[in-house]
Amino acid sequence: MNKLTIGMPVFDDFDGVYFTIQALRMYHDIDFDLIVIDNNPRSSHGMKTRDFVNTWTNAKYIEFTEKIGTSIKNQVFLNSETEYTMCIDCHVMIKSGGLKSLIRYFEKNPDTKDLIQGPLWMDNLNDYCTHFNDKWGGMMHGQWDTDKKGHDSGMPFEIQSMGMGLFACRTDAWPGFHSLFMGFGGEEGYMHRKFLNRGDKCICIPDLKWVHRFERPNGVPYPNIVEDRFWNYIIGALDTGFNIYDGFVQEACKEFGKVLPQSTINNILISAENTYYKE
């Protein structure tokens, strides 16, 4: 039985799934299980994705339409049958040797319940970012930053937050997204706090570099709704020990207040608080 499952959610991104899977198969000389969670399987992209996965790979193809959004990453862990699980965006490619470095880390730390990530490699394949800092910008909590000392040590080191295009942990250690998450966004920092709050760590492995396709010349295919992202940040804050009067939530209100009217901000705060505490 393999030790690692690699899973990817997809919403209308056949090209991303194709090249990500082929890169995993061609450039990484380890055995792993593969899962594709299709969040829009009835579209033309979804049908092509299903045909490719089922015809040309040994991956497990799973349709999931109960809800749309970031939190379907939970399904990767719920459907994994291996001891360790990695979740990646369906348009991510991993540096050759990166998966071996991850397996080595797990072999040295078999009982770890930490969240494991690696540096984002920029498109020039030279510059990199190792973590997110604590700043708000662009409707996101955390901006790309670099710990060169930590990276150049070659050894795993602790971080506080990071983009969630690639992450891994023991399958049974995954804390899961709160059921109230909706739509896309708001996961960065939130999931890290869930690990940190229970006494575990967030780790960066320098050799586990990954490239993420940010450019979308044909536009973003999934519904990218600002109100959903703000909602997720508030639910995530409540789920990790904050209240709506804490500084973190007030900073979120200030950031999203750049694009949302105050009445919308207030309505989401009240609705999120009332709904969360009724769960």
Domain match, 86 and 147 both: yes
Amino acid at 266: N
Domain match, 53 and 187 both: yes
The neighbouring-strand residues paired with 204 are 117, 157
Whether 208 maps to a domain, the answer reads yes
Tens digit of each residue's pLDDT (9 = 90 or more) over 45-91: 999 999 999 999 999 999 999 999 999 999 999 999 999 999 999 99
Tens digit of each residue's pLDDT (9 = 90 or more) over 8-47: 999 999 999 999 999 999 999 999 999 999 999 999 999 9
Domain total in the chain = 2
Predicted local confidence at residue 216, as pLDDT: 78
Short-list 77, 83, 96, 93, CA closest to 35? 77
Distances (CA, A) of 27 to 22, 52, 79, 82, 102: 8, 19, 25, 21, 15
Predicted local confidence at residue 63, as pLDDT: 98
Strand positions, DSSP E, the chain: 4-10, 33-38, 60-63, 84-88, 92-94, 115-117, 120-121, 128-129, 131-132, 136-137, 140-141, 144-145, 157-159, 166-170, 202-204, 210-212
Confidence check: pLDDT of 157 > 90: yes
Residue ranges making up the domain that contains 166: 4-212
The neighbouring-strand residues paired with 7 are 35, 87
Domain match, 28 and 114 both: yes
Domain match, 187 and 269 both: no
